[in-house]
């Protein structure tokens, strides 16, 4: 079993910054892609940013140039630096990791989710 624990959300004024963290623990052989999603009230969950195991990143157009995703493989942790925040960034942010739990074939890989952390940006 794998658990993801998030931290770092909160209330911030427009233009401010926050840093989210998400750490995985449990039966982990390796972690493939890591990502952050968000869900605002009344809206579908959307991908914010993702980083592959070799460090390639992609971002939603709405956050390009403002958010930065990074990972620390030694700590099984993914970070999301949120800068120049806008009220429309208000949402619950969820981390997601694709985790391989076995070292040999057949590989056992599953997606796991964090519990979510609230980010609220006031105008």
Closest to 118 (Cα-Cα) out of 99, 94, 92, 96: 92
Q: Whole-angstrom Cα distance, residue 10 to residue 17?
A: 10
The upper half-sphere exposure of residue 96, i.e. CA atoms within 13 Å in the direction of its Cβ, equals 18
Distances (CA, A) of 30 to 5, 49, 67, 78, 103: 17, 20, 25, 13, 8
Q: Whole-angstrom Cα distance, residue 62 to residue 83?
A: 12
With cut-offs at 50, 70 and 90, classify the pLDDT of residue 116. very high
Instruction: Quick: pLDDT tens for 11-67.
Output: 999 999 999 999 999 999 999 999 999 999 999 999 999 999 999 999 999 999 999
Per DSSP, what are the bridge partners of residue 18?
82
């Amino acid at each position: 079993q794998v658990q993801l624990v998030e931290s770092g959300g909160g209330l911030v004024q427009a233009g401010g910054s926050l840093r989210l963290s998400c750490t995985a623990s449990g039966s982990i052989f390796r972690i493939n892609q890591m990502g952050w999603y968000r869900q605002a009230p009344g809206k579908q969950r959307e991908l914010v940013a993702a980083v592959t195991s070799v460090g390639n990143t992609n971002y939603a157009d709405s956050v390009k140039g403002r958010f930065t995703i990074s990972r620390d493989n030694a700590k099984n942790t993914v970070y999301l630096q949120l800068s120049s925040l806008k009220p429309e960034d208000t949402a619950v942010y969820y981390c997601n990791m694709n985790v391989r739990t076995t070292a040999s074939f057949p590989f056992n890989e599953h997606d796991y989710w964090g519990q979510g952390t609230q980010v609220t940006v006031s105008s």
